Chains A and B, each alone.
Chain A
Amino acid sequence: MRPLSSTSLPPQSPKRQSFAVEIIQHTTPTPSSSVASTNHKSKKATIATHLHERRISTSPHPTHIPAEKDRVDAIVSQFTTLLDDIFEAEDVFNHEAEEQTEGSAAFFSTDSLRDGHPWLSKEMHRKLDVHLRKLVRTVAWKHGVAGSGLRIETGDLARITGICERAVRAAEMVELKELGGDDDPKREWMMNRLGRIENAILAANVIMLLITGSGTDQQVSLPSRPFSERSFTDGGRYTRRKR
């Protein structure tokens, strides 16, 4: 969260001035803010003392954290709904059926529909990637807003990781250097194999996001623990499971 400074607010409003002090006091210091704040700490403390009574009663935006909480809740809800849909499609999937259901066709790669354990399509991997990156960008993820609702079952995460792993394993034996002797036209042969590899790389991206919880956002750092010992609790951060 970007810290607000009192200079960004109208100087004539005592109420707004007190709000700025409140935000600075309650913000978890980031590297950039902590450097700047060292010289001003005593000044802020003095202002805070003078305005203590007014600050308690006049904060103009008390809905700031609830609004963030609602946003996080919505993102989590979308993500869990997507996971539920995927799991439901996997549960009803029957590879021996002559005609696959619409759900199977929508969620799983067409290459995998003949197999007992299907893997997701490229579109689904992209969707998961987008949802996970949205979660990573939330303030709750970074700072652990109390009661943010950023809770996702570890079992669900393990299951989706397993599904993504299938796509990666399916592409581990693909040969690209030499054209195959299949009857397929050469270009189609290449496109088919490139498609499999692309799907695997997208799946690997999702797995990495699930494992690290950080993606390309360098600000989020998590402790080095095996995935099996983590869960999405504690305000969105992975925590060690109690044994």
Chain B
Amino acid sequence: MEVIRIFLDSLFHWIAAGSSDNALSDTLSVAISCTKQISALLQNCVTLLSQFETQLAETVSQESIINVLQFLAVEAIFLENQARDKESVISNQSIESLRVVSMGILRQVSSTRGLSLT
């Protein structure tokens, strides 16, 4: 869980930094040069999150895991699309797949806690 959090946190940080008008930081410039690997990593991350979604539906998970999943999912859903797709760390299409799985996780978290999304 911690590994997913580290990666997605960094990704959100890079996306936010890329959206601002400030000059690119060193880390962001390096990250942009590794776009291909970051995309592959995000894809693996989405697969893992979908397994967490299945797990949430079937078993009782620890509250700490549910909390992390919930906060990551909320942040992923409200990520802004990149205006300049080619110059960003990650493509809008990859962000979209992250959003889809995040919505599934939020749905499972809500049903786990007996909440209604409507």
**Number of A positions contacting B (CB below 8 A):** 34
Contact B60 A224 (CB under 8 A): yes
Given the known A-B contacts A177-B10, A179-B27, are A201 and B44 also in contact in the complex, defined by CB atoms under 8 Å?
yes
Q: Mark A26-57, 1 if CB is under 8 A from B, else 0.
A: 00000000000000000000000000000000
Residue B58 is within 8 A (CB to CB) of chain A in the complex:
yes
Contact B6 A176 (CB under 8 A): yes
The segment from A2-10, A148-156, A191-199 found at the interface with B is A191-199
The interface residues of chain A lying within 8 Å CB-to-CB of B13 are: 177
Interface SS of chain A: helix
Given the known A-B contacts A186-B30, A201-B41, A205-B44, are A214 and B6 also in contact in the complex, defined by CB atoms under 8 Å?
no
The interface residues of chain A lying within 8 Å CB-to-CB of B6 are: 171-172, 174-176, 197
Contact A198 B40 (CB under 8 A): yes
The segment from A11-19, A65-73, A113-121, A215-223 found at the interface with B is A215-223
Q: Which residues of B contact A (CB under 8 A)?
A: 2-4, 6-7, 9-10, 13, 26-27, 30-31, 33-34, 37-38, 40-41, 44-45, 47-48, 50-52, 54-55, 58-60
Whose C-beta in chain B lies nearest to the C-beta of A168? B3
Whose C-beta in chain B lies nearest to the C-beta of A216? B50
Given the known A-B contacts A186-B26, A208-B55, A224-B58, are A201 and B33 also in contact in the complex, defined by CB atoms under 8 Å?
no
The smallest C-beta distance from A227 to any residue of chain B, in angstroms, reads 10
User: Which among B31, B45, B51, B58 is the interface contact of A209 at CB below 8 angstroms?
Assistant: B51
